[in-house]
Amino acid sequence: MVQPPGRPPPTSVVIVSRHRPQALARCLEALTRQSHPDFEIVLVADPDAVGARPDLPLKRLAFDRANISEARNAGIALAAGEVVAFIDDDALAVPGWAEALTAPFADPRVLAATGFTRGPDGLSWQARAERMTRSGQALALDLDRPALLAPEAGLPISTIGTNCAFRRDALAAIGGFDPAFAYHLDESDVNMRMAARFPQALTAVVPRAQVIHGIAPGAARAAGNVPRDLTAIGRSAAIFAARHGGKLDWTRHSQRRRLLRHMVAGRLDPFAVAPLLASLERGIAEGMAQGGTVPPPPDPPDWVAPPRFHRLETRVPPHLVLSGWSWQRRRLRAEAARAVAGGALVTVLLLTPGVQPHRMLLTRGGWWEQRGGLWGASQPGDSSMVLMGWAARIRREGPKLLDLGSK
């Protein structure tokens, strides 16, 4: 039985960013519009980006090594919140995300929480409720409501790295993230080790704690999530399987299927498939040689005495919905800019007379903008054509952000 959520505890939101300043700026802008009553932001970023948004009282640490686990541990060391939440720099937190994600920690049995994650279009699902296997595969659960779930046969709920939170003390007890996982399966390894250390502890699944994950290009992938190299994935998969008693068949199968999907879609040169698969095998060999040793906990001073809390002052702004046809976008965007400058949360809905699927994003001007056809799909499960009139469409789409973020 799920307990009613209480007031969320003091929370530190850790963002790791490396060479993606534009994505980071949008991520920070979305976080300034949260309703959480008591949270701070810890930014661990490369030297060129660590000074982003100088107007915000962020905790900042310059860090430029290509190791997500090391960077997250450095962020935890600076975090003063009872709960530490994580979001990627290419993700946008919908209003209410931080509060919804951390409210279940009012129940002392809860050590972790995860929300639902949308894809780059802002509307379709990328990940919802999942359980992690010993091979690193996340198995979808038929669950669309809040739940508190314990490990089953040692298998924990998966907390996707761009939308998750943990009690700081629990992270300290297991030694935090393992730097052996420089990229891929880093949070999955945390899930498995936390389940082993706290087999009766609960993970909260919070459907309304939603982020939009942009999957921005980086060192490991090009635009469209097309991989550049699979060595790191192979290495992490091999270490994970060795440590937790899994197999590598699923990793090989899923990565091959991923490459073929990109090839069929025209995003990947067919001649690049074999070299990429070879890089996967090279990484697997490296990981098997490294083995699955669990790291010792870090020295207590790094974790027991966090620095002073840097509360981010936010307020819940009024929500304004502006709607019109796509050819009216110049006027609507100008109106949105004025409203944002006045402190409002603004959604601009731009429709075309057709069935184009909808997309939603946070613009550089600070308003949320949803675009698509009057009869286009806009929610997971929609058919390719959604027959409704103008007024019905506006009623359906206008409150979306508030609906997603409310408890």
A 10 A CB-CB count for 172 gives 19
Q: Which of 190, 216, 242 marks a domain boundary?
A: 216
Angle at 378 between CA 376 and CA 384, to 5 degrees: 45
- Its pTM stands at 0.88
Q: Which of 298, 332, 361 marks a domain boundary?
A: 298
Residue 128's CATH number: 3.90.550.10
Closest CA to 28 of 312, 306, 403: 312
Which residues make Cβ contacts (< 8 Å) with residue 182, sequence separation at least 6? Answer: 66, 67, 68, 69, 70, 232, 235, 236
Indicate whether 87 and 18 sit together in one domain: yes
Is 244 a domain residue? yes
Indicate whether 269 and 374 sit together in one domain: no
Indicate whether 177 and 244 sit together in one domain: no
Indicate whether 244 and 166 sit together in one domain: no
Indicate whether 338 and 370 sit together in one domain: yes
Give the pLDDT confidence score for residue 199 in this predicted structure.
95
Indicate whether 169 and 224 sit together in one domain: no
A 10 A CB-CB count for 267 gives 13
Indicate whether 254 and 278 sit together in one domain: yes
Indicate whether 65 and 28 sit together in one domain: yes
Between CA 194 and CA 140 the distance in angstroms is 20
Indicate whether 59 and 152 sit together in one domain: yes
How many structural domains does the chain have?
Answer: 3
Range of the domain at 354: 319-405
What does the pLDDT look like over 122-178, one tens digit per residue? 888 999 999 999 999 999 999 989 999 999 999 999 999 999 999 999 999 898 999
Per-residue pLDDT, averaged over 264-285, amounts to: 95
Indicate whether 117 and 182 sit together in one domain: yes
Indicate whether 36 and 100 sit together in one domain: yes
What does the pLDDT look like over 373-403, one tens digit per residue? 999 998 888 898 999 999 998 888 876 665 5
Out of 3-17, 112-126, 222-236, 364-378, pick the least confident.
3-17
